[in-house]
Structure 1
Amino acid sequence: MDKIWMQITDRFGSREYAKGVKEFLTLARSHATSEAIRCPCVRCSNNHFRPISEVERHLIIKGIDKNYMVWIFHGEEEDLIISDDDDLHDSEQEDDFIDDVDVMLRDIRAGELPDVPITKSLVDINSSRTFNQLLADSRRPLYEGCTKYSKLSFTVKLLHIKTLGGWSVKSFDMLLHLLKSAFPNALLPNSYQESRNLEKGLGFTYNKIHVCPNDCILYWRENADKDECPKCKLSRWKFNGSKKRRIPQKVLRHFPLKPRLQRLFMSQKTAADMRWHKDQRVIQQGILSHPADSEVWTTFDQEHAWFAEDPRNVRLGLASDGFNPFNNLAKPYSIWPVVLVLYNLPPWLGMKDPFFITSLLIPGPRSPGNKIDVYLQPLIDELIDLWDNGVGTYDAKASETFRLRAALLWTINDFPAYGNLSGWSTKGKMACPSCKEQTDSMWLTYSRKHCYMGHRRFLPSSHI
């Protein structure tokens, strides 16, 4: 559908705009499940449901949100469009990676058994039954005569599309049943659960750690066997019945960091990129093209020369903030992901989704606030161990085992989250962590809060 009318500013005198609104409402009405639809006007921005007549009035008077180019809330499907050559290149690499599952499994097995020569056949290795099954599925054609996909690679591709397309488990099962009926000779899994079981040999797991509902402690290590919080005495469980029916009141998801860093070097495709900041980065005087050009990075290398000697040692940044995962402002819920960013990689890879490492998922419904340090304990323990002891890792590029270490250089967050993560109070007389006791603060008697008008001296005189 032509959407040029959305950019028209003369909404009252333009016939094209009125015609576009009419076509939009016709599409929305045909896909509506009730008399009210989401209003895409500038003010509502699809956050409010209103009658169609009121939506039409809003679109004429206030105008449509010009950024709402794909009408996913009103009947259009969200297409995955490749817009430039870089995305096309990434897509081709993705397909090569998926179809080359046998090579990926070889790298993973070499990392788990570093003493076994790389040239030795994987069939001769006394590995686990799960891995043997994975290996067999990676070498078994999807159907007789198929040369492009194996059973494993096709299943991985289906799971990948499911994630990108946001399919439900039910729709995924329906697709599998349709494919099996259309292609009875194809070696397809019977359900989504069976598809996921094929990936178990790759070791993509996470740990569930129970948490006190008041964020006092983690039921972890010395507190693992306790049934109530030693500080607030609140029960760990929602029900006090039999052990089979016990449901924890709050659960922290922890994704172990060490195996995920190890896997970056088990793949020949990423092992070389993890050295990019040292081997391939072009230094341009006066230009900051990579965090390795920064003063912080240089100072760190000077103070910890033993760490900088091996370019494979990982430099990390930590980003964390809360958001509402349910897209419902009427029922506020704040979940806090803790994400680690890899700075060894080149800039065009480091900020891509596949290389963001989710370490923790801190549950809501409220923000953890200053008690976020309780939730960070598993990650901090891993980072300390990676700094002090490191972890044995197989480098598929160099075909050798080395001691991998990691360092957290900085955090990325807004100012309130900065206060929670650092422990510095971002309120009161010394709210500025740079100025500290020299913070120019003023107490407003009637508003009963501090203001910091004196810091306008750092702004240009023409600043409004």
Structure 2
Amino acid sequence: MDHDWMYKASYTSEIYAAGVQSFLSAAEANRVKKRSRSICCPCSVCQTFQYFEDITEIEAHLFENGFMPRYDCWSRHGESLAAFSTSSTANDTTYNDDASSLNSTYNNDSSNLDENDNHLNGPDDNLNEMLHDMETNMGDAEIENLQHLFEDAEKPLYTGSRLNKLDAVLNLSNLKSKNKWSDKSFTKLLVFLHDRMLLEDNELPISTYRAKKLMCPMGLEVERIHACPNNCILYRKRYENEHKCVVCGASRYKQKKDSDEVDDDEGPKQPGNNIDVYLSPLIDDLKTLWDLGVNLYDAYGKEHFQLHATIFCTINDFPAYDNLSGYTTKGKKACPVCENETSATRDVFSTIIFDIMVHLISHIVQEIKACGPVFLRYMYPFERYMSVLEGYVRNRHRPEGGIIEGYTSEEVIEFWQGYVKGLDSVGIPKTRHSGRLDGHARVGFKTFSPSHEDLHDAHFVVLKHMTCLAPYANEHMQMLRLTHPGKDDM
């Protein structure tokens, strides 16, 4: 349906007035269908975030403020995104709605609504904002899935429930991620809740698969790329249709064995110096971000922009010097700081215990002075995070797939967490120091008043550790040495 009148016609024109009446008719019909008490206002000020039970207030807003930008499809008021996509090129729509028929519709709306219905579409959280952001940043191929997401966000979990279907699945999935439940155990919980605890007409999905499909109908795209078993090439671009490696001749596919013998050599292996083969897709993405950029939607500014990016720096462990840049990390000249003088360190440390990693510790002080704290630059935080990623693994023979599936599922929960009130973050645990620094009483909390001497000593200790006072302290010490030449510094 063509809605050009929304942005091209004057607010005082007959075409705009007739169009507003057609919108109000559609919005009221959708309210009756959804059994909601209120309707979100799509004016340029409210932008579907404010709800009104009296439809005449929305009418006044539309004549005063106009429609919000890019609301050509009335997806929040019953119009199908899929239908709009297929008919958006039609321009033969006329606006001859009879205003009297509209009045007869919404003047009697109180008789069509159940007074005990819960307000499922109220502004209790930011789901409306999230859905609007997704709608604005979506291609035509995904709009039908988004329409289903709209419906689930408005559908009660069961008759009379204060919780909608989408909100219930989000909270349950949040618990699954935080407590590391397996897919099998989560499916059993869903079946138990659906069959034994909730009303018969409940809309709760009964499997982990259905819950994931509900939360992320657009899908989290993961491209599967075959690789040579000897880490020679990736089967992409010019090699996409090859059936064997063009370098070593190894088959692209696994060979089925006739015997039951197990090959101990099978399983994941480190690529070593061939890591650049697996980094090639990342390099292509970085080139795209640098040259062309990616068109994204700014939810805060309500506008699209072209995102460009570049690599500022990389953080790797020490062996990565060898894998990524070809620097020698073994032998007598392995230190990137000392280089030719590395072997001199062996005169200080015993040759039995000497190791390049031991030697690198001697440069930490100079690195801190030049670059700042170690934890901002070294691999330690990332190595600790690897334990988190390893926790996603369910199939030890294919750990990468488990990590990808677990990480992407948790990423969906984190995305929703930014919009849904009361949904805690999965990856950020509550600190054990919570409440100790913001004035809340704790068990065993005690107060005391220090004496004047203790307070003076504490003040003096703080002053001694302030670098800005070092010149004055040195000047004072020099004066003492001149005054008492026979005394030592102690």
Is the pair's TM-score, using the shorter chain for normalization, greater than 0.5?
no
TM-score band, normalised by the shorter chain?
0.3 to 0.5
Name the one with the larger helix percent.
2
Compute the TM-score of the two structures, normalised by the length of structure 2.
0.42
What's the TM-score once normalised by structure 1's chain length? 0.44
